[in-house]
Amino acid sequence: MSKGQSISKQSFFTITEGRLELAEEIIIILADSLNKIHQTNYSERFWRIIIAPYVSTVLTSRKILEEENINIKPSNILFANTLELEKSAIFFSRFRYLIKISKSIFGLKKIKKQLRRSRNIAMGHNYSEGMSPKMDAYMEAYHPFITNKKVNSKLRNIIPQQSENFSRIFIENMIKVIPKIYVENFDHLINIIPLINSKEKIFHVATFHSQFMRFIVAKYIENGAQLYFYQHGGFYGEYKYHTAHHFESNIADKFMTWGWKINANDVPSPAYRLEKFRNSYINYKIKLSDILIIYPIIRNQNSNYVKDASRFFFNNIRREKFPIIYARPRPIAKFNRKSILNFISTDVDKIDSGFSNISNLISKSRLVIIFTHPSTTLLECLYVDHPTVAIIDNDNISTEVVKPHYDFLLKMGLFHNSMDSLVNHLNTVDIDLWWNDLIVHPKYLQFKHEFLRKVS
């Protein structure tokens, strides 16, 4: 790409209202089907808590489920968000699950003790030390050993609800391949959870770190407990059809946001996860890099854009102004991700593995470039007022509460609509003067109060 040639951005996400509508219909069909299978009358909310991972899998695997006579057998557990996995991936997932089982071998005994003694129970929080009010218990993920029961065809031989949006074969296949945890192993898993003073319990959940934790919360909510769900990352409040907010808000009595409010049960609260980042962030006076580029997940649909935008950046950025540049790939699983950025190996001074402490990398950089926003990393940077710029990837599906902030941040040069705009900004401004003016602006402070509220 020649010097001065512009590069347009490409959307990284396909978050639509239509996808949410399809997910809602799948939930209704599955909830009705599972009640028929187990001859129960659990609420839709009960099943929504438990089967959310499978709903995502079903949507991702829609083409597979439209096939006649699919050759997929129900698994003991849900390994990934797709039914189409290589044998090596399945083997690796099972191996990791066995390790998790071994680590939580005495977990159920502890969980039962916590259920007897505690009223406010937190789970899925990696930053519990910063939470207020203090919880009575922090429940760690438990991974039960699940026996390899045979598929019970009689249990699954029900007539599910039909749909105009999904074919008959799709619905039948969806029921046919439901993981055994929802069918053959369901009674055992739900029955080993003791029900103790359920109406007095409040569960404070950031994420479900294991499927079994969903069973615990679902059983207690069905019997009168309350659920407070906590925003645990970026995207929330910024994407109009954000899947996680939609599902988590729908199962929660209160959804604790990082300062914004959209739904009736949204409660503006501190950004506990960002506070954890602040606690590990040290603003080093001596910087190792002039620029740290944070890359997104690189997939087939965005690979060309990422490479073209990167080439434009390195062809046009003033290297005498920013001589030392580091890059960090998005970490996925427990593998070194350095090779994913080989296409810029001659352009940067260092490519991180993806597993270095992110707060340490940011602390030692003069400026951070976020390849696409919304992102949690950008909010972490702004929480500590670390100089940052980002390409906004949310033009047509941003919420009404965030749009005015986007307009301001675009005008001020923190956000950009394209890589050429971002490069031009960095080449022409005095970074220190620009940033020091921005972080005291009332509108910047208002954005922080609504989308990354400080823990007082």
Residue 450: what pLDDT? 97
Cβ atoms of 412 and 441 closer than 8 Å:
yes
Could you report the per-residue pLDDT of 310-332, keeping only the tens digit for each? 999 999 999 999 999 999 998 87
Residue with the two structure tokens 């490069």:
423
Q: Does the pLDDT value for residue 282 go beyond 70? A: yes
Q: Could you tell me if residue 389 is inside a domain?
A: yes
Q: What is the 3-state secondary structure (H, E, C) of 283-313?
A: CCCCCCEEEEEECCCCCHHHHHHHHHHHHHH
Residue 332: what pLDDT? 72
Mean pLDDT of 11-30: 80
Q: Could you tell me if residue 74 is inside a domain?
A: yes
Which of 42-51, 199-208, 275-284, 393-402 shows the lowest mean pLDDT across its residues? Answer: 393-402
Cβ atoms of 369 and 350 closer than 8 Å:
no
Return the higher-pLDDT residue of 233 and 80.
233
Extract the tokens encoding 358: 């992110």
Q: Does the pLDDT value for residue 5 go beyond 70? A: no
Residue 268: what pLDDT? 97
pLDDT band at 256 (very low <50, low <70, confident <90, very high): very high
Range picked from 134-143, 248-257, 302-311 for highest mean pLDDT: 248-257
DSSP string, 95-161: HHHHHHHHHTTTHHHHHHHHHHH-SEEEES-TTGGG-SSPPSEEEPP-------PPP-HHHH---PP
pLDDT band at 3 (very low <50, low <70, confident <90, very high): very low
Please tell me whether residues 284 and 399 are part of one structural domain. yes
Q: Answer with the one of 159, 181, 203 that is the final residue of a domain.
A: 181
pTM here is: 0.90
Residue 355: what pLDDT? 86
pLDDT band at 134 (very low <50, low <70, confident <90, very high): confident
C-alpha distance from residue 276 to each of 128, 273, 360, 375, 444 (Å):
9, 5, 13, 16, 21
Please tell me whether residues 292 and 409 are part of one structural domain. yes
Mean pLDDT of 71-94: 74
Residue 85: what pLDDT? 64
Mean pLDDT of 286-308: 91
Q: Does the pLDDT value for residue 255 go beyond 60? A: yes
Residue 395: what pLDDT? 64
Return the higher-pLDDT residue of 233 and 95.
233
Please tell me whether residues 162 and 297 are part of one structural domain. no
Mean pLDDT of 192-218: 96
Residue 101: what pLDDT? 84
Residues of the chain with pLDDT > 90, as a percent, come to 70
Residue 2: what pLDDT? 40
- Mean of pLDDT over the chain: 90
Please tell me whether residues 300 and 166 are part of one structural domain. no
Closest CA to 240 of 401, 63, 454: 401
Q: Does the pLDDT value for residue 83 go beyond 90? A: no
Please tell me whether residues 311 and 446 are part of one structural domain. yes
Residue with the two structure tokens 């402070």:
445
Residue 298: what pLDDT? 87
Please tell me whether residues 177 and 282 are part of one structural domain. no
Residue 71: what pLDDT? 85
Please tell me whether residues 297 and 426 are part of one structural domain. yes
Please tell me whether residues 43 and 166 are part of one structural domain. yes
Mean pLDDT of 40-63: 94
Please tell me whether residues 416 and 305 are part of one structural domain. yes
Alpha-carbon distance of 73 to 178, in angstroms, equals 9
Alpha-carbon distance of 337 to 257, in angstroms, equals 32
Q: Could you tell me if residue 94 is inside a domain?
A: yes
Which of 144-158, 376-390, 416-430 shows the lowest mean pLDDT across its residues? Answer: 144-158
- Number of structural domains, the chain? 2
pLDDT band at 397 (very low <50, low <70, confident <90, very high): confident
Residue 87: what pLDDT? 65
Q: How far out from the chain centre does Cα 8 lie?
A: 26
Q: Does the pLDDT value for residue 336 go beyond 80? A: no
Say which CATH number the domain at 363 has: 3.40.50.2000
Mean pLDDT of 140-168: 90
C-alpha distance from residue 167 to each of 81, 82, 84, 249 (Å):
21, 19, 20, 29
Q: Does the pLDDT value for residue 168 go beyond 80? A: yes
Return the higher-pLDDT residue of 144 and 84.
144
Q: Could you tell me if residue 76 is inside a domain?
A: yes
Q: Could you tell me if residue 142 is inside a domain?
A: no
Q: Could you tell me if residue 191 is inside a domain?
A: no
Closest CA to 62 of 15, 28, 19: 19
Q: Could you tell me if residue 174 is inside a domain?
A: yes
Q: Could you tell me if residue 433 is inside a domain?
A: yes
Could you report the per-residue pLDDT of 99-133, keeping only the tens digit for each? 888 888 889 999 999 999 999 999 998 776 666 66
- Domain boundaries, position 50: 8-100+149-181
Mean pLDDT of 379-385: 97
Which of 36-45, 69-78, 87-96, 429-438 shows the lowest mean pLDDT across its residues? Answer: 87-96
Residue 70: what pLDDT? 87
pLDDT band at 1 (very low <50, low <70, confident <90, very high): very low
Q: How far out from the chain centre does Cα 100 lie?
A: 21
